[in-house]
């Protein structure tokens, strides 16, 4: 069975490498700032002992005050997992760095989040609507959409 | 040397063209298409010769209806289950599920139809050769089901294509689908070549 790593311990390791990158952490998840997301993603993938080489899932949640993007990571080498989160406080034009160059699996998932939540991922090679058609007005999974 | 390059539409142009097709279909399909129910009229006068020819032709048709696979969602598994040995629709001469609309007579639309898929369904229906019949299988295909008010789901496939038989259920059991197929047979038997 995959071991879920303690978020607080991982947060300490991340904070050693990149100070001011961790917003908060608990046992379940690490919440990082959106500016440092790409560096943290590279760090988690390439650091020996962590080796998060597999992105299970990338999804987004609308909490009204902010939009949160959730990354479920797994290391196939060490058989452990981690939940990484980041928050966008700008609801009008939310922008996050893309992690496609770190995990290829993020390609379609980021397109889906862009389509249904309206979060723009900077550095994505082909950011266009995935499930809905071009020219669809609005982002249906936002709380404000009716 | 000059290489002549054919004009290829850019991916963005293809997306825009697709979107305009979907929007056009959406605007033109605001009202449901009435069900083809003229066959319910029992007062059809037939002369003796045509009746006999009709009988033979309809008998042959009822025993050789080739269904078109159109599984869109979870209802498709019940349709596949209907085709397997336990329920065995080979009994009705339907053992060959066709992937090509050119060779199929009956379109079983099983599952939720989204507006993005709708142009494809309409195209496949138009590609089928006459005579052709349509079964709407499951709540989503009949009326949109729980997703009726959704932004992306067609509220009933009768907005897009005319439907002969509705099989309710979420999803309907194979027995239900077989009952629907029997209803199609009833309809075919009342058909006349003079139509």
Taking CA–CA distances from A141, the nearest residue in chain B reads B151
With a cut of 0.95, is the ipTM above it? no
Chain A nearest-CA residue for B149? A146
pLDDT in tens, A60-87: 999 989 999 999 999 999 999 999 999 9
CB A133 within 8 A of CB B15: yes
Does residue B84 sit within a domain?
Answer: yes
Give the one of B15, B23, B116 whose C-beta lies nearest to A128's C-beta. Answer: B15
* Residues on chain B touching A128 (C-beta within 8 angstroms): 12, 15
Q: Do A135 and B23 touch (CB under 8 A)?
A: yes
Q: How far is CA A17 from CA A13, A30, A43, A86, A131, in A?
A: 7, 15, 8, 18, 38
Q: How many contacts does A have with B, using Cβ atoms within 8 A?
A: 26
Whether A144 has its CB under 8 Å from any CB of chain B: the answer is no
Note whether residue B15 is domain-resident: no
Q: Which of the 8 DSSP states describes residue B20?
A: H
Residue B12 inside a domain? The answer is no
- Residue B5 tokens read as 């390059």
Q: Would residue B86 count as lying in a domain?
A: yes
How many CA atoms lie within 13 Å of A15's alpha carbon, on the beta-carbon side?
13
CB contact under 8 A, A134 and B115: no
Which CATH number does the domain housing residue B99 bear? 3.40.50.12280
Range of the domain at B125: 36-189
The model's pLDDT over A102-134, given as tens digits with 9 standing for 90+, comes to 999 999 999 999 999 999 999 998 888 888 888
Question: CATH 3.30.460.80: does it fit domain A3-93?
Answer: yes
3-state secondary structure of B90: helix
- How many separate domains does chain B show? 1
CA–CA dist B115, A133 (Å, integer)? 9
- Tens digit of pLDDT per residue, chain B (195 long)? 677 777 777 888 888 888 889 989 888 888 888 887 765 555 555 555 567 787 888 888 888 889 988 888 899 999 889 888 898 888 888 878 888 889 888 999 998 999 999 999 999 999 998 888 999 999 999 998 899 888 889 998 989 999 999 999 998 999 999 999 998 888 888 777 665
Q: Rounded to two decimals, what is the model's pTM?
A: 0.81
Residue A23 to chain B, least CA–CA distance (Å): 36
B21 located within any domain:
no
> In Å, how far is A106's CA from the nearest CA of chain B?
21
Residues of B in contact with A112 (CB under 8 A): none
**Inter-chain CB proximity B19 and A131 less than 8 Å:** no
Q: Tell me if B152 and A140 make a contact (CB, 8 A cut-off).
A: yes
Tell me the nearest-neighbour CA distance from A37 into chain B, angstroms: 29
CB contact under 8 A, B16 and A134: yes
Count of Cβ atoms closer than 10 Å to residue B89 Cβ: 19
**B1 within domain boundaries:** no
């Amino acid at each position: 069975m995959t071991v879920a790593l303690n978020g607080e311990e991982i947060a300490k390791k991340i904070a050693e490498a990149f100070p001011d990158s961790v917003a908060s952490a608990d046992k379940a998840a690490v919440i990082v700032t959106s500016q440092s997301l790409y560096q943290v993603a590279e760090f988690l993938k390439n650091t020996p002992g962590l080796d998060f080489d597999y992105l299970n899932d990338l999804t987004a949640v609308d909490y009204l005050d902010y939009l949160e993007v959730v990354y479920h990571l797994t290391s196939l080498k060490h058989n452990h997992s981690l939940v990484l989160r980041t928050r966008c406080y700008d609801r009008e034009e939310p922008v996050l760095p893309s992690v496609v160059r770190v995990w290829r699996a993020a390609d379609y998932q980021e397109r889906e989040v862009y389509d249904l939540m309206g979060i723009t991922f900077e550095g994505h090679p082909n950011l266009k609507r995935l499930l809905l058609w071009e020219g669809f007005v609005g982002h249906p999974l936002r709380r404000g959409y009716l | 040397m000059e290489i002549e390059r054919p004009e290829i539409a850019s991916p963005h142009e293809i997306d825009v063209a697709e979107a305009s097709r979907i929007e056009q279909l959406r605007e033109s399909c605001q009202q449901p298409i009435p069900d083809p129910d003229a066959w319910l009229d029992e007062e059809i006068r037939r002369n003796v010769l045509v009746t006999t020819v009709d009988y033979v032709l309809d008998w042959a048709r009822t025993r050789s209806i080739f269904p078109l696979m159109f599984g869109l969602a979870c209802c498709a598994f019940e349709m596949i289950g209907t085709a397997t040995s336990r329920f065995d629709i080979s009994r009705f001469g339907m053992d060959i599920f066709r992937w090509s609309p050119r060779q199929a007579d009956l379109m079983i639309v099983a599952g939720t139809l989204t507006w993005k898929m709708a142009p494809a369904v309409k195209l496949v229906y138009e590609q089928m050769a006459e005579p052709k019949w349509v079964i709407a299988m499951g709540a989503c295909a009949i009326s949109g089901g729980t997703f009726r008010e959704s932004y992306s789901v067609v509220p009933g496939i009768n907005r897009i294509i005319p439907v002969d038989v509705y099989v309710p259920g979420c999803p309907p059991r194979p027995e239900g689908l077989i009952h629907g197929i029997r209803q199609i047979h009833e309809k075919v038997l009342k058909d006349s070549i003079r139509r």
